[in-house]
Structure 1
Amino acid sequence: MVDYVLRALQPYFERIPSVARPTEHVPFNQKLMWTLTILLLYFVLSNVPVFGLDPSSIDIFEQYRALFAGATGSIIALGIGPIVTASIILQLLVGAGIIKLDLTNPDDRAAYQDFQRFLVFVMIAVEALPQILGGFLKPNPLIAEQLGVSLAVVSLLIFIQLFIGGTLIVYMDEVVSKWGIGSGVSLFILAGVAQSIITGLFNWVVPPNSAMPAGIIPRWFWIAQNYGGEALLTADGLRFLLVDGGILALITTAIIIILVVYAEGTRVEIPLAHAAVRGARGRFPIKLIYASVLPMIFVRALQANIQIFGMLMYNRGITIFGEYVGSKPISGLMYVISPVRGPQDWIPSLVKASPYFADLPEWMIILRLLVDASILVAGGILFAIFWVETSGMDARTVANQIARSGMQVPGFRRTPQSLERLLERYIPKVTVLGGAAIGLLTLVANMLGTIGGVGGTSLLLAVSIAYKLYQDLAKEQLTEMHPLVRRMLGEEI
């Protein structure tokens, strides 16, 4: 039934405007220009506030802000959330066989992409409307009075602005993916995380209900001015330095960066030789993190959407799923399945230091940690498999690409089938292993905390994206010098 409806609506999906693909090779300088232009536009839009929004509004994505690459109170507040959510839904439908599409078939892949674009616009509305109707994004009564309109009209204006911002993110992502370097989603995440890390290091502003500056380096100066050496050398003083002083977050961030770079460089390389050009050789790398870190976005996006559901229920007076303070769950199922974001979320003494958790039983704190670990590892494996199958990284698609480029594995027959059997020995196993490994790395980073509170998922994504961006830049420069390489990579000369 779903397949029939999808096929019937396909002509309408095709009419949704999209960014045209280049008809010929785009030079490196132009790709770099498009990428930097979109990045600049992203930062500009992140500083454009939503007109008519009341200052008392609640950001329900506060705990996922760095991950979703949006800016609180701006017209791009939804960030990449709709794109990720639409991708999750479609991958689950295809993976479960509810929508039967052969993604190795060009027509089916085009149908998949058209339906995904339509679904993204649906998700923009779905993620914006509940925030407005649920009372999280509140219209400003003063603005309504000055304009001489009702609060409902101001709420409509807020929705229109969020929809426009979400639409701009969609097309900015398409511009980077088709005309720039890498993908827009990755670029926005990297920009948001980098901004948070820099702020977390150097921000001298003192937050409300705190005596110390927000940034780690200004905090050290404050500690040196207000604490003596003897007090800091005690057990409580060392704990204060590690946790509150940000030293643990700094060490964790550095270690995670090193581990991700090491994991990105760990690979199995399959030797290749060109059938028609003697001496032309290469290698096809199968990395340990074969599916990249992007499946972690899907895991956290799924958790974020569940948390939003819980907040909406609580705002309606339904507390069976848990209670909230602002955007933070403090009890019930929603507390158990919420992500761990630092030592203050799983060390009982630190958890109970908060007045909201003073009476929380220790078994519930431990259960939350175990549930988060299970979600990260199992979700990392599951979404890594889905990502490989739907993004053209599976053994069959890769084998066909290698065969079309004229390359072959020495000692094996020059057929896609033989290449596929060889790749099947590695790709499925590495996909599962890499998904589990990245889930464990994310868990460790979340448990110990990171600079700027970006979270383990966001930090891993940023490091992996930066590493991939460096590789993409090197590849683009290589293809400029050696056009034959473009043909090997499946591009037109």
Structure 2
Amino acid sequence: MTGKVVRKMSLIESISSKLPGVQEPKAHLSFKSRLKWTVIILLIFLFLGQVTLYGVEKQEVARLQFFELILGASIGTLMTLGIGPIVTASIILQLLVGAQIIQWDLKTTEGKKKFQGAQKLLAIFFCFFEAYAYVAFGAIKPATPDFSIFLLLILQLAFGAIIVMFMDEVVSKWGIGSGISLFIAAGVTKQIFVRAFNPLTLPGETVPTGLIPQFLVFLSQGELFQATIAILPIIATIIVFAVVVYIQAVKVEIPLAFGSIRGFGRRWPLNLIYTSNIPVILIAALIANIQLVGSLMAQPGEFGGRCGPLGCFDQQGNPTSGFVQFLRPSADLSINIFFLTLLAVTFILSMLAFHFRSQNSMKILAISAAAGLVSAIIVTHFTVGLPVGGEFLRSMIYLLIMVVGAVIFSVFWVATSGMDSKNVAEQIEGLGMQVPGFRRDPRIVEQVLNRYIPILAILSGLIIGLIAAVADFTNALGTGTGILLTVSIVYNFYEQISVRYVEEMNPAVRKFFK
């Protein structure tokens, strides 16, 4: 780094070291205590998501509700920015460190402290920057043109985002798992529940907004086609849920032996989804931020729409042209049915083949995918007709962006979070284990892990990005990406509890975690 950059980074480190933070617990916290803090923070988050901003014009908030799920936001409330500033800061720092523009060694304690401090400082900057952008560009419109209301809205938005940042710290240090993950899961779960079961009707409508009440109403009226359309998102949600749960459980196991006890060994499991849901969180947040910027830069145009450098939006805030239209999955019914059939048939055939112990997993997956593709073409053709070329091209570009983005972030995450071969080899060495048939040396373990981890980093990003994109096309409740994230988050919570806290539980509860 040049001297100028070094001085700037030293200044950032100096400022970040003086920022307030949440102290780590000085003594071991019981499972009950950690669960208590997690529930308290979750309740505070949900409560703040109902506190409407003072001075906001309420009818303006609906345009950005696509932003809510991925960033744990609640538009028009204190939680409008959600986890956006935290995730944006993390993305930027990861890219800078990954490209060696900032030369921090994240394998050392000092390097990690610098990264975390800079991330907090950058997140606070984005709290105010995004708050200003929302208000200045009209995403959150003041009820009156007074400058005092303009300023008050910015301060409320920034204050809410900073609270989220500290709540994330509380969960990470005093609770279970990550606050970011908790907030995303809470938002998605809330939307799934409301969209599935809401019995209320909109003004001027006679059909309930909830899909299950809709299905029952249409069925009672004998409108089978409408009833089928209403229940499709529920079916899609169940299928996506099953696929994600199954994929989460697949592991690659490496045989190891204890160096000091001959004849004893164990297998070291590496998840097929090695980087978990992190790549999808990051690429989805990046896409949401680009859409947000596009929406903020758009100016009122003809027929009530808005247009800007990144594309045009309709009155509901849905992209209709330009680059931004490729960042939103198609809502076309033919696309929904095509990808729902593809996902369902591929998953069911793969499950049956693996259940009956068929060999050659890659061949099974290829045949299942081919059968799924043929089934999708036939079912879509004979129900609503195949997708038009423009919609299909848009879907393929969205899928490509999700997959490539997830792979890139997956590789970056492995490099920056201590999940690379060298760090895992040191963990294995610390447990007194070695590769059978070789002398005890972390370099040998690292060589063995290098056969798996770099490939898993790419493969997990590819699989999780592909599932998220395809699931988005099915019109599942809470979006496919939202369900994927929520299932992954809940599964990770379950794994953490079963590994770390199961012995502290009541015996009646313990059996569910073994």
Structure 1 length as normaliser, TM-score? Answer: 0.85
Alignment of 1:17-32 (within 5 A): 17-32=20-35
2:218 maps to what in 1? 223
Q: Distance in 2 between matches of 1:341 and 1:364?
A: 10
Shift, 1:134, TM fit: 0.8
- Structure 2 unaligned segments of length 5 or more: list them: 302-306, 339-386, 506-514
More divergent stretch after superposition (289-298 vs 212-221): 212-221
Q: Is 1:402 aligned to residue 428 of structure 2?
A: yes
2:123 maps to what in 1? 120
Amino acid paired to 2:496: D
Q: Secondary structure at the match of 1:97?
A: coil
Q: Deviations over 1:223-266 (max 9, x none)?
A: 133x32xx52xxxx2xx3333x1x22112111111111111111
2:381 maps to what in 1? none
CA RMSD after TM alignment: 2.4
Shift, 1:221, TM fit: 2.3
Q: Secondary structure at the match of 2:26?
A: coil
Shift, 1:184, TM fit: 0.5
Q: 2:65 aligns with which of 57, 62, 65?
A: 62
More divergent stretch after superposition (460-469 vs 49-58): 49-58
Q: Secondary structure at the match of 1:128?
A: helix
Shift, 1:362, TM fit: 4.8
1:205 maps to what in 2? 200
2:319 maps to what in 1? 329
1:194 maps to what in 2? 189
Alignment of 1:29-40 (within 5 A): 29-40=32-43
C-alpha contact 2:61 2:75 (8 A) present in aligned 1: no
Q: 2:242 aligns with which of 246, 249, 258?
A: 258
Q: Deviations over 1:11-51 (max 9, x none)?
A: 11111111122334322221111111111111111111111
Shift, 1:268, TM fit: 1.0
Q: Secondary structure at the match of 2:298?
A: helix
Q: 2:171 aligns with which of 167, 176, 190?
A: 176
Shift, 1:133, TM fit: 0.5
1:352 maps to what in 2? none
Q: Distance in 2 between matches of 1:37 and 1:82?
A: 22
Amino acid paired to 1:340: P
Q: 1:43 aligns with which of 36, 39, 46?
A: 46
Note closer, same or farther for the CA distance 1:479–1:112 as it changes in structure 2 (3 Å cut): farther
2:412 maps to what in 1? 386
Q: 2:500 aligns with which of 467, 476, 483?
A: 476
Amino acid paired to 2:481: T
How many residues get paired? 448
Q: 1:242 aligns with which of 224, 228, 242?
A: 228
Q: Is 1:436 aligned to residue 462 of structure 2?
A: yes
Q: Distance in 2 between matches of 1:119 and 1:345?
A: 43
Q: Deviations over 1:407-426 (max 9, x none)?
A: 33433332221221111111
Q: Distance in 1 between matches of 2:490 and 2:337?
A: 35
1:460 maps to what in 2? 484
Amino acid paired to 2:246: Y
Q: Distance in 1 between matches of 2:309 and 2:80?
A: 29
Shift, 1:319, TM fit: 3.5
Amino acid paired to 1:300: A
Note closer, same or farther for the CA distance 1:475–1:343 as it changes in structure 2 (3 Å cut): farther
Amino acid paired to 2:123: V
Q: Is 1:367 aligned to residue 381 of structure 2?
A: no
Amino acid paired to 2:108: N
Q: Is 1:411 aligned to residue 411 of structure 2?
A: no
Shift, 1:347, TM fit: 7.1
C-alpha contact 1:88 1:298 (8 A) present in aligned 2: yes
Structure 2 length as normaliser, TM-score? Answer: 0.82
Q: Distance in 2 between matches of 1:19 and 1:251?
A: 43
C-alpha contact 2:337 2:474 (8 A) present in aligned 1: no
Q: Distance in 2 between matches of 1:59 and 1:477?
A: 42
More divergent stretch after superposition (198-207 vs 264-273): 264-273
Shift, 1:272, TM fit: 3.9
Q: Distance in 2 between matches of 1:292 and 1:20?
A: 27
Alignment of 1:91-102 (within 5 A): 91-102=94-105
Q: Secondary structure at the match of 2:267?
A: strand
C-alpha contact 2:73 2:80 (8 A) present in aligned 1: yes
Note closer, same or farther for the CA distance 1:221–1:480 as it changes in structure 2 (3 Å cut): closer
Q: Deviations over 1:105-133 (max 9, x none)?
A: 21111111110111111111121111100
Q: Distance in 2 between matches of 1:366 and 1:213?
A: 31
Q: Distance in 2 between matches of 1:23 and 1:294?
A: 29
Q: Distance in 2 between matches of 1:285 and 1:417?
A: 19
Q: 1:306 aligns with which of 290, 305, 323?
A: 290
Q: Secondary structure at the match of 1:104?
A: coil
C-alpha contact 1:134 1:315 (8 A) present in aligned 2: no
Q: Secondary structure at the match of 2:270?
A: strand
Q: Secondary structure at the match of 2:47?
A: helix
Shift, 1:215, TM fit: 0.9
